[in-house]
């Protein structure tokens, strides 16, 4: 592996979830393509990108700053899930699945961040 982030569990999990969120958002109404659909995709991608950017050639305090951005984006995804559920774009079981997945990811990122000196 050429880049440090490739071996990080948090990056791999975030990447997998980003792909899943992209697929899920394809089921939103067409009029949401530039609104909620775009927002949830960008937030999910932001988690992946910030982990990668922060891990490469950065000091630990700088990496923590990027992990904080990732955490915020994770919360943004969850907020988008609530909106999608409230608007009946996703079923309860889909909401619960991704809510739980992002809760786990946020905890993983927080734990990882806490271990950086």
The answer to whether the Cα torsion of 52, 70, 85, 87 is positive or negative is negative
Angle between the N-to-C axes of helices 60-86 and 92-115, in degrees from 0 to 180, rounded to the nearest 10 = 170
pTM of the entire predicted model = 0.95
pLDDT at 74 over 80: yes
Residue 92 lies in a domain: yes
Categorize the per-residue pLDDT at 33 as very low, low, confident or very high, splitting at 50, 70 and 90.
very high
Quote the domain boundaries for residue 111.
30-115
Query: For position 43, what pLDDT does the model report?
Result: 98
Q: What separation in angstroms does the CA of 48 have from each of 3, 23, 86? A: 14, 16, 26
State the Cα–Cα distance between residues 62 and 11, nearest whole angstrom: 17
Query: For position 117, what pLDDT does the model report?
Result: 81
Residue 15 lies in a domain: no
Residue 2 lies in a domain: no
Residue 18 lies in a domain: no
Full DSSP string of 39-103: HHHHHHHHHHHHHHHHHSS--HHHHHHHHHHHHHHHHHHHHHHHHHHHTTSS-HHHHHHHHHHHH
73 close to 44: Cβ distance less than 8 angstroms: yes
Residue 58 sits in a domain whose CATH number is: 1.20.1440.60
The number of folded domains in the chain is 1
pLDDT at 55 over 90: yes
What mean pLDDT is predicted for residues 29-58?
95
């Amino acid at each position: 592996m050429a880049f440090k982030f490739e071996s990080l569990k948090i990056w791999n999990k975030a990447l997998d979830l980003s792909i899943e969120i992209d697929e899920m958002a394809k089921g939103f109404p067409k009029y949401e393509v530039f609104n909620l659909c775009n927002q949830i995709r960008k937030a999910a991608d932001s988690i992946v990108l910030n982990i990668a950017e922060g891990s490469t050639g950065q000091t630990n305090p700088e990496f923590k700053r990027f992990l904080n951005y990732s955490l915020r984006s994770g919360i943004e995804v969850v907020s988008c899930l609530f909106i999608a559920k409230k608007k009946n774009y996703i079923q309860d079981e889909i909401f619960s699945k991704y809510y739980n997945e992002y809760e786990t990811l946020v905890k993983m990122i927080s734990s990882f961040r806490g271990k950086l000196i």
